[in-house]
Chains A and B, each alone.
Chain A
Amino acid sequence: MNDLNYKSYRIEAENICVDYHGKVALYDANLRLKAGQICGLVGMNGAGKTTFFNALTGFVNISKGKIRINGESLRIAQKDQAIAYVPQSEGIDSQFPVSVWDVVMMGRYGSMNIMRSPRESDIQAVKDAIDRVDLIELSTTPIGNLSGGQRKRTFLARAIAQRASILLLDEPFAGVDIRTEKLISELFIQFKNEGKTILLSTHDMIHVREFCDLVLLINKTVVAYGETSEVFTPENITSTFGGMSPDALFGPES
């Protein structure tokens, strides 16, 4: 699974379009990512970032185009547990009566029997994952009693327990504490070394420069895509954000 010599693309999205009841949310979007690559997905609110994620996970159907994951169809990718999705904080009912352990165990459901009764290996995978995000002492805590950062780490642990080769993260750094931010940064480096492919959406320009090999700028469609050093230019950012300059958007520092 963590084969660094994986030749073909992990994610191939070709000219994909998504519309909701006739309203276009995303059109002609392309993306190709290999093993060990980290790509930043940057755009305004409503630019189609979450839609892009939804299309890649199969949660919404694309109306046009093609998606291949590890050279196979989405259905096979889902069966193979190839993709893990780490939701945005707002995308989750934080008061839902489940514990950290329950949530992380959900990462194993896809490879369990119909009753989802955990085997020894599942329990070990969950323990390891919770340990990696430093939440062992909170594993029985209901998620409603966690801080935003701890909750984010819980969902990261779920992705780790799933042992997916592709990680999709929607705003992983939004609303987290410094400790969590540092932990996520370290995990990204580990994931990269393990050969995982990461696509993350973010509003933070510093994070893009720090982690992302590639960047995909979108505004309903791809504005620019390529290596961060080449593509992440003030001109491209300005056209992604509808004519606003990077300075106006993020302050002179960025």
Chain B
Amino acid sequence: MVLIFLSTNITSFIADPLSHEFMRKALLMSSLVAAVCGFLSSYLTLKGWALMGDAVSHSVMPGVVVAYALGLPFSLGAFIFGVGSVALIGFVKQKSRIKEDTVIGLVFTGFFALGIVLVSKIKSNIDLHSILFGSPLGISLSDVKQTVFISLLVVILLSVFRKDLILYCFDPRHAKTVGINILFLHYLLLTCLSLTAVVGLQSVGIVLVVAMLITPGATAYLLTDKFDNMTIISVISAIISSIFGIYFSFWFDLETGGSIVLVQTFIFLFAFLFAPRYGIFKFKKLISNY
């Protein structure tokens, strides 16, 4: 009896949201976005670009706003401002005595502020709330096309240059010594970061997109010693977070972006505590001791 009650409940928990078209679309698109973010995340975590991810994802804001206002693809605006912000960070760092983390913080908040001011000044139908906090439930058809296109592009780029990028993250000096163009790889990764940030912000918004770029990779890093497995775990954990996040937001009426990122954080916490080799409670040790 209890079992029947439970199973009906679980079935309706899963099936009910699926009867709405916007939910099916949101689940599908968010999973795609999560997969791309998770894929890139394994590179960013190992390159130590968490702060860079934060900077770029905030800096794309004015680009997105300007692109919307001019009727251009938002990815183009995001790309220009994303790469531009990093170039500016590099320039200020080189030409002044200020430390890098200060420069990063300074530049990206400046860009971000510009974005917010532009939203309030440019008359358009841009919804500040949906840029800041994401709106996976309200993705338009043209957004879907762009998201699919960008996602494919990023996945192809990261796959074709996979081994070079791993080497670049691991030992750039060796890459240079054997004639690999590390400047190209640097900008390739940066390009992927800018593009992915703009894809991710539709799902969880600018404020939280950095979580999509860092947390899945960090979780996976605690669970494996192989790069390939790390990418797979990172992608899967990102997708699971998105799906559960959207379900929770549907059933408990939560902000979707926050809900997705919270699930991600909980998965990380779980790995942090119980990862077989690198968790606080090392299960492998316990098992092998007995």
Chain A residues engaging chain B, CB cutoff 8 angstroms: 21, 54, 57-59, 75, 78-79, 81, 83-85, 87, 91-93, 96-99, 102, 106-107, 109-110, 114-116, 142, 144-145, 158, 162
Interchain CB contact under 8 A, B94 and A21: yes
Contact of B225 among A59, A84, A145 (CB under 8 A): A145
Q: How far is the CB of A168 from chain B (nearest CB, A)?
A: 8
Contact of A97 among B162, B163, B164, B224 (CB under 8 A): B224
Interchain CB contact under 8 A, B166 and A85: no
Interchain CB contact under 8 A, B226 and A99: yes
Q: List 27 A-B contacts (CB under 8 A).
A: A21-B94, A57-B176, A57-B177, A59-B172, A59-B173, A81-B178, A81-B179, A83-B177, A84-B177, A85-B174, A87-B174, A92-B170, A96-B46, A97-B46, A97-B225, A97-B230, A98-B166, A98-B226, A99-B225, A99-B226, A110-B180, A114-B161, A115-B160, A115-B162, A116-B163, A116-B164, A158-B174
Interface size range of chain B in the complex: 20 to 34
Binary CB contact string for chain B from 101 to 140 against chain A (1 if under 8 A, 0 otherwise) = 0000000000000000000000000000000000000000
Interchain CB contact under 8 A, A78 and B178: yes
Q: Main SS of the interface on chain B?
A: helix
- The docked-state distance in angstroms from the alpha carbon of A98 to that of B230 is 11
Residue among A91, A92, A106, A145 facing the most chain B CB atoms (10 A cut-off):
A106
Knowing A109-B164, A144-B225, the reply to whether A93 touches B179 (Cβ < 8 A) is no
Interchain CB contact under 8 A, A58 and B176: yes
Interchain CB contact under 8 A, B160 and A85: no
Q: When A and B form their complex, which 9 residue pairs have the shortest distance between CB atoms, in order from nearest?
A: A110-B178, A142-B225, A78-B179, A116-B163, A57-B177, A79-B179, A59-B173, A97-B227, A59-B176
* B221 at interface by CB-CB < 8 Å: yes
Knowing A98-B227, A114-B160, A115-B163, the reply to whether A87 touches B173 (Cβ < 8 A) is yes
Interchain CB contact under 8 A, B178 and A162: yes
* B253 at interface by CB-CB < 8 Å: no
- The docked-state distance in angstroms from the alpha carbon of A98 to that of B227 is 6
* Residues in B neighbouring A96, C-beta threshold 8 A: 46, 169-170
* B21 at interface by CB-CB < 8 Å: no
- The docked-state distance in angstroms from the alpha carbon of A59 to that of B176 is 6
When C-beta atoms are compared, the residue in chain B nearest to A114 turns out to be B160
Interchain CB contact under 8 A, B176 and A78: yes
* Residues in A neighbouring B169, C-beta threshold 8 A: 96
Interchain CB contact under 8 A, B171 and A87: yes
When C-beta atoms are compared, the residue in chain A nearest to B176 turns out to be A59
When C-beta atoms are compared, the residue in chain A nearest to B228 turns out to be A97
Contact of A93 among B170, B173, B176, B225 (CB under 8 A): B170
Binary CB contact string for chain B from 155 to 198 against chain A (1 if under 8 A, 0 otherwise) = 00000111110110111111111111000000000000000000
* Residues in A neighbouring B230, C-beta threshold 8 A: 97
- The docked-state distance in angstroms from the alpha carbon of A98 to that of B228 is 9
When C-beta atoms are compared, the residue in chain B nearest to A144 turns out to be B225
Interchain CB contact under 8 A, A109 and B227: no
* Residues in B neighbouring A162, C-beta threshold 8 A: 178
Knowing A78-B179, A109-B180, the reply to whether A85 touches B173 (Cβ < 8 A) is yes
Binary CB contact string for chain B from 209 to 244 against chain A (1 if under 8 A, 0 otherwise) = 000000000000100111101100000000000000
* Residues in A neighbouring B175, C-beta threshold 8 A: 109
* Residues in A neighbouring B166, C-beta threshold 8 A: 98
Interchain CB contact under 8 A, B177 and A78: yes
- The docked-state distance in angstroms from the alpha carbon of A106 to that of B163 is 9
